[in-house]
Amino acid sequence: METSLDGEFKSITDLGVYTLVKLPEGKTAISTRWVTKIKLDENNDPCKWKARFVVRGFSQIPGVDFDLTQSPVASWKSIRMIMSITAREDHELFQFDYDTAFLNANLTEDIYVEQPEGYHVGGPEMVWKLNKALYGLKQAPREWNKTANDFLKKIGYKPLLSDPCIYTKKSETGRLILIGLYVDDTIISVHKQDIPEWESDKKKISETFPIKDLGECHWILNIKVTRDRSRHTIKLSQQAYVERIANEWGLGQTRSVKTPIRIDDIYPSETEQSTVLSDKDKKKYQSIVGELLYAANVTRPDLGFSVGRLCQRLSNPYDHHMEAAKRIMRYLSQTGHYSLTFGGKGVDLDISGVSAFSDSDWAECKETRRSTSGCIILYNGDVVHWFSRRQKTVTASSAEAEYIAMFEASKEILWFRNWMFEVFGEYQSGATLIREDNQAAIALAQNNNMMVQRIKHMDLKYHFIRELVADNKVRLMYINTKNQLADILTKPIQGSRFHEICDLIMWTLDG
């Protein structure tokens, strides 16, 4: 009976990854090992035993064994844009995986590696000279991306400048086919009338690379994709991922918490004693925060502020930071059914295209006295991006803090405007709306001469927002603080206010 190791070795052999040679004099073979893992499905049930033969790339020598290593993946904001377009246009959403993707990438360097344990041929001096990449090589992701990129362009797909792992193609009917590439996981958005053309392209891909056709997209990158065609909605949920990590740390069945973080979790009172975590607990803290960060970046904007604040203490955490991380994990465990939804009613019924909420909490950080910028980007009412960032400078007033937050939001808006131009062939008509709850900051951005003296000390880059307003690329609108959705990304909010915002930005909390 063929094992997962046998299957991996067969793939390596069939793809001509190596040539068996005697190790040349003066050369060193890089060590290797087998890595195995049980793959889980959307119900956390084992679905596959997977094996990888990997190179210990940490021993590679820069300039000898590798040169450049940077490799792009599709950004989450692009993936969420594809989900929004797919839901509202009622496109089909397909998925496939490139099987043993890295083994398809050619190498230019002469690299020798040890043979795999259990499959050794010849004497101890016999090694593999790699013709193609293996998992673990530092340049493997980059070489694979180049290989996939070259082929997709060859069959008519064009990568975006704003996101080189998003590919577009105009079909014979004049509609768009969108592809999102995340290493080897691939999603495709295509109109039902263009399915025959996509099937033809998929056949070309499968004839060049081994792929697993997974049909309609239901489970990708630890995200469950649920679709309601009658309501034109797509929901993204990480409930299975949340349950897994919560149980991993023993926080799945614990006391109830209603919000992810409190001000006392970050800054304990002076009467409380705080101690630096031991090296062992520090690694545990870093692991917990890293797993929380994945959820916060992908489907959970309600965790943006709390997880971001804990990320700032990864190198020097105290015991109260560990308790804060556990609290967030408890909150996440109890709200694992929350979904990020695209299509349907959305937030902005009156605004088409891209719009934003921008906010800042003045001098929120008690350690540095810096403010925190928060932003939520919407596309046709769907939440497609968010961020919570501590600002790089201390500000002298709330107006200055809000002004900087608008500058940071405007950079994201320009990215989305360029993305839409590349995909649809035209810029969004009219200016992009930014909602802001500080009238003084709006006056600053509108170049009100009465306000010039208040910001003459500020760095030139922050005045970029003025040019966008003057060029009618950005339009500012004052809103009351109670309607400011980005408030949730700037400070610890408690009580019903927190859940009201959650219900708007993640508008289906029924799982």
The pLDDT tens digits of the residues spanning 265-313 come to: 887 765 567 899 999 999 999 999 999 999 999 999 999 999 999 999 9
Assess whether pLDDT exceeds 60 at residue 349: no
Whether the CB-CB separation of 246 and 332 falls below 8 Å is answered with yes
Q: DSSP secondary-structure letter at 455? A: S
Query: Between residues 31 and 271, which one has the greater pLDDT?
Result: 31
User: What sign does the CA torsion over 268, 274, 276, 280 have?
Assistant: negative
pLDDT of 454:
65
pTM for this predicted structure: 0.93
Residue 391 pLDDT level (bands cut at 50, 70, 90) = very high
- 25 Cβ neighbours under 8 A, 6+ residues apart: none
The three-class DSSP label of residue 415 is helix
pLDDT at residue 477 in the model: 95
Residue type, 488: I
Supply the pLDDT for residue 191. 97
pLDDT digits (tens, 9 = 90+) for 433-462: 999 999 999 988 887 665 666 666 676 677
Q: What is the pLDDT of residue 47?
A: 79
Closest CA to 361 of 320, 323, 303, 405: 405
Asked if 75 contacts 163 with a C-beta cutoff of 8 angstroms, the reply is yes
Looking only at the bridges linking them, the beta strands covering 474-478 and 432-436 are parallel
Q: Is pLDDT of 253 > 90?
A: no
pLDDT given for residue 510 in this prediction: 41
In this structure, what are the phi and psi dihedrals at residue 456, rounded to the nearest 5 degrees? -65, -20
Cα–Cα distances (Å) from 403 to 7, 276, 374, 444, in that order, read 57, 36, 12, 7
- How large is the angle between the packed helices 279-298 and 239-248, nearest 10 degrees? 170
Q: What tens digit of pLDDT does each residue of 447-500 get?
A: 766 566 666 667 667 788 888 999 999 999 999 999 999 999 999 998 899 999
Statement: residue 508 has pLDDT above 70: no
Q: CATH code for 345-505?
A: 3.30.420.10
In sequence order, the 6+-apart residues with CB closer than 8 A to the CB of 444 are 399, 403, 451, 454, 455
CA distance 166 to 293: 23
Mean of the per-residue pLDDT values of the chain: 91
Residue 80 to residue 384: CA distance in whole angstroms: 5
C-alpha distance across the termini of the chain, in Å: 41
User: ∠170-149-385 over CA atoms, to 5°?
Assistant: 70
Residue 48: count other Cβ atoms within 10 Å of its Cβ.
10
Q: Residues 47-72: pLDDT tens digits?
A: 788 899 999 999 998 988 899 999 99
Structure confidence at residue 452 (pLDDT):
61
| Domain boundaries defined on the chain | 4-221, 250-334, 345-505
Residue 460: helix, strand or coil by DSSP? helix
Compute the C-alpha angle 167/103/188, nearest 5°.
25
Helix or strand holding residue 501 (H, E): helix 495-505
Q: Are 363 and 343 in contact (CB under 8 A)?
A: no
Q: What is the pLDDT of residues 124-148, one digit of tens each?
A: 899 999 999 999 999 999 999 999 9
pLDDT attached to residue 365: 86
Per DSSP, 71 falls in state -
Give residue 76's pLDDT band: very low, low, confident or very high (50, 70, 90).
very high
- In this predicted model, what pLDDT tens digit does every residue of 94-131 receive, in sequence order? 999 999 999 999 999 999 999 999 999 999 899 999 99
Place of tokens 């596959």: 48
